[in-house]
Chain A
């Protein structure tokens, strides 16, 4: 990989802002991404993740603040920066008239890579994307998961310094998501610097060493998934359902149990050190939930705590 040290900053943003007319999409955020790190931007749709992503892929000009990517200002050196990045956009922009291997080849040519280099690299990337037997297929014949893997493989053709993925698994079925996570995890193991936007908490927990939680263009929290959970939530969560017409009423009666409580329209969440003990206490008080679940605290709970809303509305 040619790593030169974990502390080398690949991306640094200070007061990064994007304004469209009178709408502020990104409101002065600060963050940095170190070499070899897997960094996530977590937030619901409209949080400003994709706008931030487009600014750090040097394809969208910022309205304010400082931004340095690979040591350069994208306003001054956009094409040079982009040539050293790998970008996986939210919507696949593969050429459907070209075959699978041609999509890899022609993308490599945009970087001026030689035909000799690309002939070897294509085989490597087809194997990585598990698409060897689809090399001569047209893109339209691929499943959604295969297209996504091809887009990721394509973004690796120039061996990028940073791979940026915007909602890499949105719209995929669970199996396809897991295959994709496996591929991304391999890249992470190799030390490839990853930047991922997602509104899936499980994706962020699986892939990110560190992340920022965004909402309405602002950073609500920053840290590793574990530290964010430790800081903003309790170790365990009890989810109980008493029926949508009874949840609020029961919540008042059991409000003293656990560390904290959130009452959602369909369920009550009770944050606790010991979930099983809390559930026993509720039942002991004579309240028998229609369904109950004791689980580990997640980034979803962190987001709910920070914003009062769920990630997927």
Chain B
């Protein structure tokens, strides 16, 4: 390297800029890493809604609509009933994928978070970057999901477009909580498989995704009440086709999701900082 051209970090690096934009630098890394798997992300983003639509939305939907004469759960076509739940699921699952394995990758497998930290990024900025990148991916996934549902005639009104930002917000809230949980993992150790089977799968099945939660007995209905997916689905149905929700319940749904989001972020910020300085 040429000594004459060496300007030195004090003239090259703007620490105030890092303090302001550090989270976006961390997100830039995550997005670049994510793009190495773009084929899988696109295949999942497009393939998943198509599979659900053809199998459950159209297959099961045809059966239900035939017996209910188009006035299925909530008095709408089954596909209309199902569509907001699928968008909510896409948002929550899409963001979760980018905050679970990548966090273990960053802390344990490749220790790239330690490289970021050594370069001046704080634990909080790295955590913010992880969430930002997860939302970036979810923007693609949720938009594709919504567009395919629109093409299949799942939404009666263009107002259903509001599903995209609202479900992205819920996805970010859920992702914050999952990021906090992931930040405590020393290694995978099968925990993600356990979470997938005993948290995510029950959440998907008991959140009123495929039927109204009210049809479940009270002994298992509580699973839906604590499930972020149920809260996201209820608001989604309200937006998409006017599912009846009182102002108080809208407040409860947003409040619950915001609460887990804020708690997740606070726990993650603290744990990221502690692990990087341990």
**A-binding segment of B13-21, B135-143, B192-200:** B13-21
Q: Are B112 and A112 in contact (CB under 8 A)?
A: no
B120 touches A93 (CB 8 A): no
Interface footprint category on B: 35 or more
Produce 1/0 per residue, B15-53, CB < 8 A to A. 101110110011011001100100000000000000000
Contacts of B9 in A (CB 8 A): 83-85, 111, 158-161
Question: Is the CB of A76 closer than 8 A to any CB of chain B?
Answer: no
**What is the CA–CA distance of A110 and B118 in the complex, to the nearest angstrom?**
10
Given A112-B21, A113-B13: A93 in contact with B112 (beta carbons within 8 A): yes
Chain B's closest residue to A164 (CB) is B118
Q: How far is the CB of A263 from chain B (nearest CB, A)?
A: 42
* CB neighbours of A224 from chain B (8 A): none
CB of A91 within 8 Å of the partner chain: yes
Please report the C-alpha to C-alpha distance between residue A93 and residue B118 in the assembled complex, in whole angstroms: 11
- The answer to whether B117 and A98 touch across the interface, beta carbons within 8 angstroms, is no
The answer to whether B114 and A112 have CB atoms under 8 Å apart is no
Q: Is the interface of A mostly helix, strand, loop or mixed?
A: loop
0/1 interface trace, chain B 45-86, chain A, CB 8 Å (1 if under)? 000000000000000000000000000000000000000000
Cβ of B122 under 8 Å from chain A: yes
Band of interface residues on A: 35 or more
| Contact indicator B3/A110 (Cβ below 8 Å) | no
B117 close to A113 (CB less than 8 A): no
B270, CB-defined interface residue at 8 Å: no
Chain B binding surface SS class = helix
In the complex, are the beta carbons of A111 and B1 less than 8 A apart? no
Q: Determine the distance from Cα of A57 to Cα of B120 in the docked complex, in whole angstroms.
A: 10
The reply on A8 being an interface residue by CB < 8 A is no
Q: Does residue B277 face the partner (Cβ distance < 8 Å to A)?
A: yes
Residue from A87, A89, A106, A127 with most neighbouring chain B CB atoms (10 Å):
A106
Q: How far is the CB of B2 from chain A (nearest CB, A)?
A: 8
Q: Considering only CB atoms, which chain A residue lies closest to B15 in the complex?
A: A80
Mark out the residues of chain A between 165 and 202 whose CB falls within 8 Å of any chain B CB in the assembled complex: 186-187, 190-192
Please, which residues of chain A bring their CB within 8 A of the CB of B112? 93, 95
Asked if residues B18 and A83 are in contact (CB atoms below 8 Å), the reply is: yes
Could you say which residues of chain A place their CB within 8 Å of the CB of B2? 124
Given A84-B9, A84-B13, are A106 and B28 also a contact pair (CB < 8 Å)?
A: yes
Could you tell me if A111 and B8 are in contact, using CB atoms closer than 8 angstroms? no
**A residues in contact (CB < 8 Å) with B:** 1-2, 57, 59-61, 78-80, 82-85, 87, 89, 91, 93-98, 102, 106-107, 109-113, 117, 124-125, 127-128, 154, 156, 158-161, 186-187, 190-192
- Which B residues contact A (CB, under 8 angstroms)? 1-3, 5-15, 17-19, 21-22, 25-26, 28-29, 32-33, 36, 110-112, 114-122, 276-277
